[in-house]
């Protein structure tokens, strides 16, 4: 990319899925918070892996296995650089954010959290950062406490301060809300948790694809994200923690690759990260993640963040021009997500009619039912942007929403 910044039209042209017509209309893809589209280079990297380098990793002495291992471990280094991790071994490959959080619950949680302990979550959490902790709490007799939010969707830091106590063993909070787009004050959340002696997990599923992230700078102990929301394939993600923390934890899943030696009497474990990567991993997913990181890095995460801020403003303005529209989630610091309602119209109807116009938005509780409950809504419609969206798509969303209102108010 030149110093003048990317040519966004050319960037968009990298995404074959965006060239298609849907229901006879040009596709306007605004479901990026659910999953991103994939650029040609990622698709090519996966195809090339199968055409040239497909083999199982770590175990083979033959050339192909060596090539696959080099590719796989090379991506670990890329991931580390991308998120500011001091050592690539700190980056454990998992299936996605959900599996990463479950990994932490089943290792850190099961060994460090006990009866009477407390886990602090926030009102903004995705179900993936609630349910693993509920399962753990049921087993251990621990309790979940929740940082409340205000009507704008911002966390109440004064209330958070009151929740912290010597009983707090873990604070697990999202970096960016998938339902409302709120960017949480994650550094401050982590700092306060550490001062209280708690361990910090950050769910970065909606942050890493949209802004520069430096895990050391944030001050988290665990930082988790998914590849498929950042132009990589599905089925791959990363769980980061400092090496010493990973080393202090027991393995989770048992099987091939995570052992040092096995006998029927006793087995011993491989070094981190292999200790947490049992079985044949998603090698193609890792290769695709590497290509996605190269692609995003070439554009620049700071440029992506700035572009998406402008796009979000354009899409929110377009939504608000529609009679009866209200944006849900009006935090001062927001990223990429415009949740909204149209007065008197169920969000599912909005989504269905918008789809007829070629506009793909998401409707429902967005796997964040407590957010909806707090706001007194059964569901919202959600337009979520990525850098490859265009300002010209904002009026197309507006036109689709106007069609919705015409159908319902005729």
The catalytic residue positions are 367
* Secondary structure, 3-state, 307-347: HHHHHHHHHHHHHHCCCCEEEECCCCCECCEEEEEECCECH
The reply on whether position 206 binds ligand PLP by CB under 6 A is yes
112 phi and psi, to 5 degrees?
A: -115, -10
The reply on whether position 209 binds ligand PLP by CB under 6 A is no
Distance of closest approach, residue 212 Cβ to ligand PLP, in angstroms: 18
The C-alpha atoms of residue 296 and residue 300 are separated, in whole angstroms, by: 6
Count of chain residues binding ligand PLP (CB under 6 A): 14
Q: Which of 32, 37, 199, 226 is the binder for ligand PLP (CB under 6 A)? A: 226
Write the DSSP string, 377-394: -S-EEEEE--TT--TTHH
Q: Which of 154, 203, 277, 308 is the binder for ligand PLP (CB under 6 A)? A: 203
The reply on whether position 361 binds ligand PLP by CB under 6 A is no
Stretch that binds ligand PLP, among 70-78, 90-98, 261-269, 349-357 (CB under 6 A): 90-98
Distance of closest approach, residue 222 Cβ to ligand PLP, in angstroms: 13
The reply on whether position 325 binds ligand PLP by CB under 6 A is no
CB 29 within 8 A of CB 360: yes
Which lies closer to ligand PLP via its Cβ, residue 179 or residue 342?
A: 179
Distance of closest approach, residue 364 Cβ to ligand PLP, in angstroms: 12
Which lies closer to ligand PLP via its Cβ, residue 368 or residue 396?
A: 368
The reply on whether position 210 binds ligand PLP by CB under 6 A is no
- Report how many helices (DSSP H) and strands (DSSP E) the chain contains, helices first: 15, 17
Tokens 């892996």 belong to residue: 49
Judged by DSSP in three states, 354 sits in helix
Distance of closest approach, residue 328 Cβ to ligand PLP, in angstroms: 16
Judged by DSSP in three states, 90 sits in helix
> How many angstroms from the chain centroid is the CA of residue 392?
26
Instruction: Please report the sign of the dihedral spanned by the C-alpha atoms of residue 241, residue 245, residue 246, residue 252.
Output: negative
Which lies closer to ligand PLP via its Cβ, residue 237 or residue 273?
A: 237
Which lies closer to ligand PLP via its Cβ, residue 126 or residue 307?
A: 126
The C-alpha atoms of residue 6 and residue 91 are separated, in whole angstroms, by: 29
Q: Which of 126, 140, 334, 362 is the binder for ligand PLP (CB under 6 A)? A: 126
| Per-position x/- string for 93-122, each x denoting binding to ligand PLP as judged by CB under 6 A, each - no binding | ---xxx------------------------
* Secondary structure, 3-state, 230-272: HCCCCCCEEEECCHHHHHCCCCCCCCCCCEEEECCCCEEECCC
Q: Which of 37, 107, 128, 339 is the binder for ligand PLP (CB under 6 A)? A: 128
The reply on whether position 184 binds ligand PLP by CB under 6 A is no
Backbone φ/ψ region at 402: left (φ over 0), alpha (ψ -120 to 50), beta: alpha
What value, to the nearest 5°, has the Cα angle with vertex 98 and ends 249 and 164? 65
Stretch that binds ligand PLP, among 84-92, 125-133, 277-285, 384-392 (CB under 6 A): 125-133
Which lies closer to ligand PLP via its Cβ, residue 128 or residue 405?
A: 128
User: Tokens representing 202?
Assistant: 């950050």
Distance of closest approach, residue 366 Cβ to ligand PLP, in angstroms: 8
- Residues at the contact surface with ligand PLP, assessed by CB under 6 A: 96-98, 126, 128-129, 174, 178, 203, 205-206, 226, 228, 367
């Amino acid at each position: 990319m030149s110093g003048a910044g990317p040519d966004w039209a050319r960037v968009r042209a990298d995404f074959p899925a965006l060239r298609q017509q849907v229901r006879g209309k040009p596709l306007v893809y605004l479901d990026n918070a659910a999953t991103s589209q994939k650029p040609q280079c990622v698709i090519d990297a996966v195809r090339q892996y199968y055409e040239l380098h497909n083999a199982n990793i770590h175990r083979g002495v033959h050339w192909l296995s060596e090539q696959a291992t080099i590719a796989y471990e090379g991506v670990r280094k890329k991931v580390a650089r991308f998120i500011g991790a001091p050592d690539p071994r700190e980056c454990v490959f998992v299936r996605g954010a959900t599996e990463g959080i479950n990994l932490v619950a089943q290792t850190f949680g099961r060994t460090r959290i006990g009866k009477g302990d407390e886990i602090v979550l926030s009102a903004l959490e995705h179900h993936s950062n609630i349910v693993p902790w509920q399962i753990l709490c049921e087993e251990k007799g621990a309790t979940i406490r929740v940082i409340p939010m205000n009507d704008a969707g911002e966390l109440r830091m004064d209330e958070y301060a009151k929740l912290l106590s010597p009983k707090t063993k873990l604070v697990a909070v999202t970096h960016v809300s998938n339902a409302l787009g709120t960017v949480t004050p994650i550094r401050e959340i982590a700092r306060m948790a550490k001062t209280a002696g708690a361990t910090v997990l950050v769910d970065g599923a909606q942050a890493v694809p949209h802004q520069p992230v430096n895990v050391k700078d944030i001050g988290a102990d665990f930082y988790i994200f998914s590849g498929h929301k950042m132009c990589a394939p599905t089925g791959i993600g990363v769980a980061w923690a400092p090496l010493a923390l990973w080393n202090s934890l027991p393995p989770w899943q048992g099987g091939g690759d995570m052992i040092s030696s096995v006998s029927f009497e006793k087995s011993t474990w491989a070094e981190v990260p292999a200790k947490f990567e049992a079985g044949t991993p998603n090698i193609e997913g890792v290769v695709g993640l590497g290509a996605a990181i190269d692609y995003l890095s070439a554009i620049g995460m700071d440029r992506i963040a700035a572009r998406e801020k402008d796009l979000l403003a354009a899409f929110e303005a377009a939504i608000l021009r529609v009679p009866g529209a209200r944006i849900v989630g009006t935090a001062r610091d927001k990223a990429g997500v415009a949740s909204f309602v149209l007065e008197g119209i169920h969000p599912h109807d909005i989504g269905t009619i918008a789809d007829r116009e070629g506009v793909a938005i998401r409707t429902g509780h967005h796997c964040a039912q407590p957010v909806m409950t707090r706001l007194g809504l059964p569901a919202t419609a959600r337009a979520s942007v990525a850098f490859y969206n265009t300002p010209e798509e904002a009026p197309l969303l507006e036109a689709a929403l106007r069609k919705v209102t015409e159908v319902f108010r005729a």
